Structures are given as structure tokens and as C-alpha cells.
Amino acid sequence: MSLDSKITSNKNKENIKEFDILRGFAIIFVVIIHTFGLVYHYNEGIEYLLTYGIIFIIAQSAVPIFLFISGYFLRLKYVNQNSLKSIFKSRVKKIILPYLLFSIIYLLYNNWRFNLNTNFLEGIYQILTFSVEFHFWFLGLLISFYIFFPLINKCFEKFNKVKLLAGSFILQVIWVVLEISTYKQFLFNPDMQVLIFFIKHTFISYIFYFILGMYFAENYNQIVDKLNNKKRLFIEILILIPSILLSYYYIMDLVYFKLITLPLSILAILIFYKVSLYLKERKIGNLLGFFGRYSYGIYLIHPLITSLIGQIFEIGALFYLILFINVCVFSLCIIYLINLLPYSEILIGKVRK
């Protein structure tokens, strides 16, 4: 079977339910990070860290999972196509335009909420640097993958896939070590903050997860057969537990945290994909898939909902759990209602039915 026909045979898998479920897990993890993470913002005690901290650690796999999914679908759609124009043309309405509109919404909200006086040029600068709101850094990262995807795709087609996968892992580790070194050396140097930001959020810092998705797209059937092995799942969970504990130990160490969570993120991608396969025919899978289909809109709006709802409840033992549930429910409901409006894809991207 030729490469084109091999990949084309996987085209019918673009809409398979497990990827919606996997997206559902990932977006819920994002909300967990931005709600349970407030435990550290409010300097809560050890009992809070033990109850919320472990879940917070597992949720760190959110970005790796999303990048894994992006690599998978970009490889399927653009096999042997290396046109940057075609990639961006399909994503202007899906990704970039909703980002621009939500950036304006957050600029207006932040100016009202925090009594800011952001002028036009400052607003443009924040939009171009993905700094209007804290979570937009991920879109900057994603767009950098779009920009370099033709090069990545060409390398993927030219070189041995397994060696390229291993090489991307080594490259990511080296880059993260460089990031750590730069962060420690120039953290308090205001002139070097742009460099630190670039090194921290460039695509090389997450390249392995993306290449893993591409590799998965090309070897889907063989990989899924291996993933269905229950013994492998048992071994992966056994390895995952010490990875979680090690990450928990370094949870407050912003310098080494990304490096420490690397093995955890790889295992989480495999394990939660397996779980997604298992949940395909179950009702909870339908709910997670529903979250997954609306994940981009939820990603865009959830910090706004978090800010609004967070002011309602008193901080206490159940505050973070209540906040998380409310943010998930209200974000999903609002995005669902927006999707019913004409031209809703301009604001929240296109939702697959």
C-alpha cells in the first residue's frame, strides 16, 4: 500500500469518537489546572495540596494531549502537502478569528474588572504576543506549529519515523534544559524576558508530543492493536504512579516542573487514549465527547467564567471543586448556545456535528 493510500485509509478515522473523548479529557484538564491551581494562589495548606494537588498534576497532560491530537489530524489532512498557505487558510476562521474576537472581549473585561486603561497600541501588542489573557500562550504555541508544520512534515516524510520520533524526544529534552538554564540565569533581568518567553513557548519545547501524534496517524492500526493489550496498561499505570509522585514533589518548582512532568505526559497520552477507546460505547463517553466537540470554545471562554464565578463563592474546603464544576457546566452551556446562532464559527470556531 502506498503512503498516500495508507494515510487516506485512515481518513475515515478523523471523526472517530475516541478523539472527541480524548479532547474532552484534555479540556476538562485545562479547567482543572485553572481552578484547582488556585490552591497555590491562595497558599492553602497541605490538606488542600493532597486532595487537589494530585489531580492538578495529572491534568498537566492537557497541553501534550492537545498537541498530540493536532499532530495526528494535521498529518492526516496534509500528507505530502507542505503549503503554509493552505494550512493557515483553513485555520483563519477556525482558530485565528475567534482568538482575535475573544482577545477584544478580554481586553474590555480586564479594563473594566481591574480598572486598567489599555490604549490601542498596547492592546495590539498584547494581541500579537498572545498576552491579553494568561491562557492564550497556548495559541501562540499552536500557531508556531502551524508555521513550521511544512518543514516538520517534510522531515517526517524524508527520515526514518522511529528515529525521528526518538530524535524529537531528545531535542525536546535538550530544549527544556536550555529553557531551565536561561530561566535561572536571566529570571530577574527585565531585558531578557522576551527571550525567556520565546524559549519557553516555542514549538521545540513540545515537539515530541506533536511528532507522536503524526506517528500515530501513520501507524494507527498497529498502535491501537498494541494499546489494547491489558498487560501494557497495567505496566503503564505502575510507571505512572511514581511519575505522579515525583511531579508532586516538584509541584512548586517552576524551573524543573516541565522536565519532571515529561514522562507523566507521555504515559497520560497513551493511558487516556486507551480509556477513550474503552468509553466509546458508554454514556460517559458521550458526555466527554460532547465536551470535546466544544473544546475550543470552552478553552476561549473558561477564564472569563472562572473570574466571574470565583467572586460568588467563599474560599473553603469545597471552593475549588464547586468552582471547577460550575466553570465546566457554564462554559459548555454558553458555548453550546452560541453555536446555535448564525455565523457562530466566527466567535467559537467550527463545531463538528
pLDDT, residue 300, reads 97
pLDDT exceeding 90 applies to what percent of the chain? 48
Rounded Cα gap, residues 205 and 258, in angstroms = 9
**Residue 44: its pLDDT value, please?**
61
| Most confident region among 110-119, 182-191, 221-230 by mean pLDDT | 110-119
Which has the minimum average pLDDT: 39-48, 94-103, 303-312, 314-323? 39-48
**Predicted TM-score of the model (pTM):** 0.90
Please give the pLDDT value at position 209.
Answer: 97
Please give the angle made by the CA atoms of 303, 307 and 310, to the nearest 5 degrees: 125
- Rounded Cα–Cα distance for residues 38 and 202 (Å): 26
Burial (Cβ within 10 Å: 0-12, 13-18, ≥19) of residue 160: exposed
Q: Where are the alpha helices (DSSP H) in the chain?
A: 3-8, 17-36, 38-41, 46-58, 62-77, 84-91, 97-113, 120-128, 137-158, 161-186, 193-201, 207-218, 220-227, 230-249, 257-260, 262-278, 283-293, 295-310, 319-339, 345-348
Extents of the domains making up the chain: 3-348
CB atoms within 10 A of CB 143: 17
pLDDT digits (tens, 9 = 90+) for 283-305: 999 999 999 999 999 999 999 99
The whole-angstrom separation of Cα 56 and Cα 44 is: 14
